[in-house]
Every structure is written in C-alpha cells, then in structure tokens.
Amino acid sequence: MSVEVETATKHAGEAGHSGPEIRSDVHVRIEPLERGGVSVALESRVKPYYGDAIRRQTEEVLEALGVRHAQVAIHDEGALPFVIAARIEAAARRAGLGEGTRVLPDRLSLPDPSPRDRMRRSRLYVPGSEPKYFINAALHGADAIILDLEDSVHPSEKDAARLLVRNALRAVDFLQCERMVRINQLPLGLEDLEEIVPESPDLILIPKVETPGQVIDASQKIAEIKANYGITRPIWLMPILESALGIEKTYEIATASGEIVALTIGLEDYTADLGVVKTATGAESLFARQRMVNAAHAAGVQAIDSVFGDVGDMDALRAWALTSRAMGFEGMGCVHPLQIPVIHEAFAPTPAEIEKARKIVAAYNEAQQKGLGVVSLGSKMIDPPVVQRALKLMARAQAMGLVA
C-alpha cells in the first residue's frame, strides 16, 4: 500500500450498514479531499427507482454540511430519505466535516402535547440504530414508541444512532403513539439531549437512575435546550431504576422533578446487581416492584413494569402482565409488537370490574344529584376512595374502547 493512499484514507468517515441481509439502511463513506469537488459513487438496490433522488439528496446534504471536496461512496439497501440524511451526516462528522451543522429533514406537523397522565400500558422499544424498525413501529397500536439510544445501540454507534433518532422524530409519523426516547446513562445522555430535545419528544427515559441529582441534571439540561429553541410544550421524564441503590431511593427520585410522570424498573440490570437469576415469575424482584408501585403512588406518578424478554412465550407474558396489573403497575415495556395486544388485554379491566365500577359511578352520580354526602349501593356504603377508583377505572375502560 502506498503512502499516498494511507494519507488519503486517514480521515475517511463511514456510517451505516449495507449487505445482502441489511434492509432499509445505507452505508456511506466520505473521504475528504483537498480539491476536485465532490464525486459520488452510488450503488443501490432501488437505483432504477430512486437513483436520481438519492444523488440529489446526497449533493444537498453535503452542500449543507459544507463538504466541498470529497469522494463519497454510497451503498444503499433501500433506506428512506431521513435515514440517508442521518447516515451522510454521521459519516461526515466522523470524517471531521460539518462540525456544528445539522441537516434536518422536513418536519411533519407535531402531534398534540402528551397529557401528564395519559395511558401508558405498552411502550415498544425500537433500537435506535435499526432504521428498518422505525417506519412501521407505530402501526401496531402501542401507547408509546421508545426510540432507544442506550442498551440496544453499540457504544461505537451512539453518535450515529442519535442522528437517526433525531431525524426520525422529525420525519416519521408515530400516529397515536407517545414519542419517547431512552437516552444513555449520564453524562453521555446529556449529549443525546442536545440532538433530541430540539425535536420535542414527548418523554425522555433516563436509565440507571440512582440519585435524585441525576434526574435534576437531565431536567436542567432539557430546560436549557428548550429555552434556547423556544420550546414550551412539556417533555416528560421517566426514570428507570435498575439497581438496589436506585430502588432504595425510589421515592426521592420520583419527587425529584415536576416533569416526572412515571417510574419504571429495569429487571435485567436489577437482578444482575443482586446477583440473582431473573425468573419468569419474578419472585426475586417482588420487593423492588412493590416498592416502586408504592413510591410512585405516594409521589403521584405512574408505576410502569419492566419489559418481558421472551417474545416466544405469550402465555408467560400474559401471566406476568396480569400479576403486574394486580400489583398496581399501569403498563409494561414491549420488545416485539406481538406482545402489545397481550399486554393491552391483560391491563384491561375485566367485564366484572367494569360492571361493578359502573354501578358505583351511577350511585355516585345519583347521590350528587340528590345532594347526598353519602354514596350507597344497595345496603353498602361506598367510601370516597372507592368512588375515585371506580371513576378512574371507567375512564380507562373508555380510553381502551371497552365502554361507550
């Protein structure tokens, strides 16, 4: 190999993936040059259909990044435009180009801000470095989509995944889903926030929280970025507690910021921390989960259970979810879309529960009309907390489409 070639390849930047098994991604290699303008070599499985569009987009993105002399090789496996843009930007940055410049795809109109106490039965994790899962993620009816920058993304891919997730927040229609992003453990997570917060996600999950201070750091960073970008809509927080220490501090963490709407638990890390085996029935995490439910309710936020990792065993998932609901959790995480309907069914009130609640609400309404202070159903007196629970259950049943 000649010295010249070594010099030329020294600063080349690459991003993305290609190959026969890869779908909806693109590999981009940018080799900066001193002169000669930009040359683009394009290979694409969709070349007969979008070859011209890919070339045009490549030129536009490079120009926006200020790349004027480079040799660019693109190997495309049918990536959508927002993916191509993110991969080119990542490759350019890795080549030391385009510092401080963002090339943002057109933004779809933002959905309405997410209410604090919205239903969060199911949240579907989507690996932030796997663009093929992004586009149809919302079709499967989950209450939320989590674009994940943490555990599902290899450490060497964090920078590129961040750009993909940022672009997805602008260009992908997540329909009825709450748009959540799991950032990395702090301090790396603070860098994620720089790219993510300007795109107004509905909620940020902060992993491996053990102290209220970590939540405050994230919250302050978010507030700062929001102020810079003039964002006024809320960006909620969901701390993930994944260690014995975190569990011990559950209530302090839950009350660390007014933006916290829910707490959740990461059982893989928690059981590892304890040095115990994670089982399908979860006896080893019973205390932690119960503690979380109690602290969350004390703090007035939702308690959301962990994910269920075995995507092949729907019966075990159903059993887990039923227990989870019985313990006081309001939802679970999903790692596969097929888990969503099972979880929704498990977290739905039973017909008997709905019937009972309906009677209580009717009795309550009647008492209100008559100006009675005491609500009674048949010979039984109904306590105010029971009425509150029935009202909440009916509201949930309505949101789930179980009652008119």
How far separated are the first and last CA of the chain, in Å rounded? 74
Beta strands in 106-218 (DSSP E): 122-127, 144-148, 178-182, 203-206
Of positions 337, 390, 393, 396, contacts other proteins by CB under 8 A: 337
**Measured from the CB atom, is 50 or 270 closer to other proteins?**
50
**Measured from the CB atom, is 136 or 228 closer to other proteins?**
136
Q: List C-alpha distances in Å: 82 to 26, 46, 101.
A: 11, 16, 16
User: Does the protein bind other proteins through residue 52 (CB under 8 A)?
Assistant: yes
From 58-66, 232-240, 333-341, 377-385, span contacting other proteins (CB under 8 A): 333-341
Of positions 49, 115, 213, 380, contacts other proteins by CB under 8 A: 49
Give the shortest CB-46-to-other proteins separation in angstroms. Answer: 5
Parallel, antiparallel or unpaired: strands 122-127 and 332-334: parallel
Give the shortest CB-195-to-other proteins separation in angstroms. Answer: 22
**Measured from the CB atom, is 125 or 270 closer to other proteins?**
125
Nearest by Cα to 122 from 398, 344, 338, 350: 344
Maximal CA-CA distance, the chain: 95
**Measured from the CB atom, is 292 or 334 closer to other proteins?**
334
User: Does the protein bind other proteins through residue 50 (CB under 8 A)?
Assistant: yes
Q: How far is CA 208 from the centre of its chain?
A: 15
Q: Restricting to residues 67-126, name those near other proteins by CB under 8 A.
A: 77-81
User: Does the protein bind other proteins through residue 342 (CB under 8 A)?
Assistant: no
DSSP state of 140: G
User: Does the protein bind other proteins through residue 135 (CB under 8 A)?
Assistant: yes
Q: Which residue has the tokens 């960073």?
A: 221
Q: List C-alpha distances in Å: 261 to 106, 126, 234.
A: 30, 21, 11
Give the shortest CB-53-to-other proteins separation in angstroms. Answer: 6
User: Does the protein bind other proteins through residue 338 (CB under 8 A)?
Assistant: yes
Q: Restricting to residues 162-201, name those near other proteins by CB under 8 A.
A: none
**Measured from the CB atom, is 76 or 202 closer to other proteins?**
76
Give the shortest CB-139-to-other proteins separation in angstroms. Answer: 6
Which tokens belong to 263?
A: 């707490």
Q: Restricting to residues 138-167, name those near other proteins by CB under 8 A.
A: 139-140
- Amino acid symbol at 237: L
Give the shortest CB-78-to-other proteins separation in angstroms. Answer: 3
Of positions 9, 39, 101, 136, contacts other proteins by CB under 8 A: 136
Burial class from Cβ neighbours inside 10 Å (0-12, 13-18, 19+) for residue 136 reads: exposed
User: Does the protein bind other proteins through residue 45 (CB under 8 A)?
Assistant: yes
User: Does the protein bind other proteins through residue 129 (CB under 8 A)?
Assistant: no
**Measured from the CB atom, is 57 or 152 closer to other proteins?**
57
Q: Can you spell out the DSSP letters for 230-263?
A: T--S--EEEEEE-SHHHHHTHHHHHTS-TTB-EE
From 48-56, 89-97, 221-229, 386-394, span contacting other proteins (CB under 8 A): 48-56
Say how many residues touch other proteins, by CB under 8 A: 23
User: Does the protein bind other proteins through residue 305 (CB under 8 A)?
Assistant: no
Parallel, antiparallel or unpaired: strands 375-377 and 380-382: antiparallel
From 9-17, 42-50, 114-122, 283-291, span contacting other proteins (CB under 8 A): 42-50
Nearest by Cα to 302 from 238, 250, 347, 249: 238
Give the shortest CB-45-to-other proteins separation in angstroms. Answer: 6
Cα–Cα distance between 123 and 145 in angstroms, integer? 5
Cα–Cα distance between 85 and 246 in angstroms, integer? 39
**Measured from the CB atom, is 79 or 92 closer to other proteins?**
79
Phi then psi dihedrals of residue 34, to 5 deg: -80, -35
Give the shortest CB-50-to-other proteins separation in angstroms. Answer: 6
* Cβ-based neighbour number of residue 380 at 10 Å: 11
User: Does the protein bind other proteins through residue 333 (CB under 8 A)?
Assistant: no
Cα–Cα distance between 124 and 307 in angstroms, integer? 9
Axis crossing angle, helix 188-196 with helix 158-171, rounded to the nearest 10: 30
DSSP H helices, 286-383, are 286-299, 314-327, 339-347, 351-370
From 185-193, 204-212, 297-305, 332-340, span contacting other proteins (CB under 8 A): 332-340
Contacts with other proteins, residue ranges (CB under 8 A): 23-24, 45-46, 48-53, 57, 77-81, 135-136, 139-140, 336-338
